[in-house]
Every structure is written in C-alpha cells, then in structure tokens.
Amino acid sequence: MTIRAVFLDVGETVINETRPWSLLADRIEVPRMTFFSVLGALIVEGRNHRELLEIVRPDLEKREDFDRLINETDYRFLPEDVYGDVRPCLIELKRRGYYVGVAGNQAVEREDDIRGMGLTADSIATSGRWGVAKPEPAFFERLIAECGYPAGEIVYVGDRVDNDIVPADRAGMIPVHIVRGPWGHLHRNRPDARRARAQIRTLSELPAAVESL
C-alpha cells in the first residue's frame, strides 16, 4: 500500500477548543465545570452535543439556537488554540513527501481563521465551505476530490469514532484515531474504534505511524 495524502480533522485534532467552549459556558452563565461535565455525559451516551443547552439552560430557546449563541460569543480560533504538536507534525509530513490537508466540521469563518495561521498544509477546508458535513459520505468524497488521490491512499486522522473513524473507513480511507479531547478519550475503547488502523495520543506520533501502515 502506498500512502500519498494525510488529512487531519479540525476540532481536538488540530485545534484545542477549550478556550472557545469556555467562552460559551461564560456566555450562557453556566459554571465551566458543569458545562464540560454535561458535555462529557452527552458524549458517553452518544447524544448530540447541541442538547447541552436544553439541560443546563432549559430557560433559553431550544437547540436550534446553539449556533446563534456560538456566533454571539465571538467563537473563533486563534493561533494560541493550535495544539503544540501540530506545526512540527505538518512540517514533518511534508518533508516525507505527503500531501497534507486539514478538513473538518466547522463554519466557513473557522476555515478563514485556520487559513490565517500559516500552517504547512496543501489544503484547508471545512464543511461550511463544502456544504456537506461528516459523517455524510459526500464529505469524504469531497475530500478525495480535493487531493486527487484514491481513497485507499489517504489517511484521515480524527478524534471521534462516529464522525471520523467509521465514515473514513467506509469511504475506503485509512483511519487513524487520536486520543485527545473529550470525544477522543471517551471513544477510545468503543468497539468501532478498532476500525482505526492506528491509535495515537499525540500528533508527534503520526509521521511514524503513517510510515508503518
């Protein structure tokens, strides 16, 4: 097998979302400990994280306003939100000759944030720009078209088993699970996590993991 491209998910793979999520907790006046504990419980139960508002602030309008609240919170990605192992990993992957991409479920505005960070990547894309989101097969079809390589020559790295590992595997790609962030840790022992061809804890491990696949 020849691997020619490596794509990384955005949230909790490239971007540490602790700061922006904490701002959302402050915006809705819920203690951060409560906010993150309820988020973790929803993940364990396999429920949509947008249900969080219905639980911690049932007096607010319902889940369809989750994105509106995020926008009102000035939810954006800053250079300080990039995990420390991201830039060295991308540089090393490029040095080894791989096509490198970043693609995840985010708004168009978050794509603009990431593009301004000077990451070493051949392409940066979001579901907001493409008009299709994970885990839909069309997202991964779009990713394949983006780099121009067959699915079997593309590695996709993500923290969520349901949104990243399983659909990437179904698309014929080579999934790699990164165990960080709430989804990464809570999903790592799920039966479907075995569909990942490798499981890593930091992106520092990724170049060697790709070489070994």
More confident residue, 99 or 23: 99
E strands in 13-70:
none
CATH among 3.40.50.10440, 3.40.50.1000, 2.30.30.180, 3.20.20.120 for 5-16+82-212: 3.40.50.1000
pLDDT value of residue 173: 98
Contact 25, 35 (CB under 8 A): yes
Query: Average pLDDT of 53-61?
Result: 82
Query: Average pLDDT of 76-92?
Result: 96
φ/ψ bin of 97: left (φ > 0), alpha (ψ from -120 to 50), beta (otherwise): left
CB neighbours (10 Å) of residue 101?
20
Helix (H, G, I), strand (E, B) or coil at 188: coil
SS3 for 149-169, per residue? CCHHHEEEEECCHHHHHHHHH
Report residue 57's pLDDT band, with 50, 70 and 90 as the boundaries: confident
Residue pLDDT, tens place only, 92-128:
999 999 999 999 999 898 999 999 999 999 999 999 9
For the chain, domain boundaries: 5-16+82-212, 18-72
d(CA 5, CA 22): 34
Report residue 71's pLDDT band, with 50, 70 and 90 as the boundaries: low
Note the pTM of the prediction, 2 decimals: 0.93
Contact 110, 128 (CB under 8 A): yes
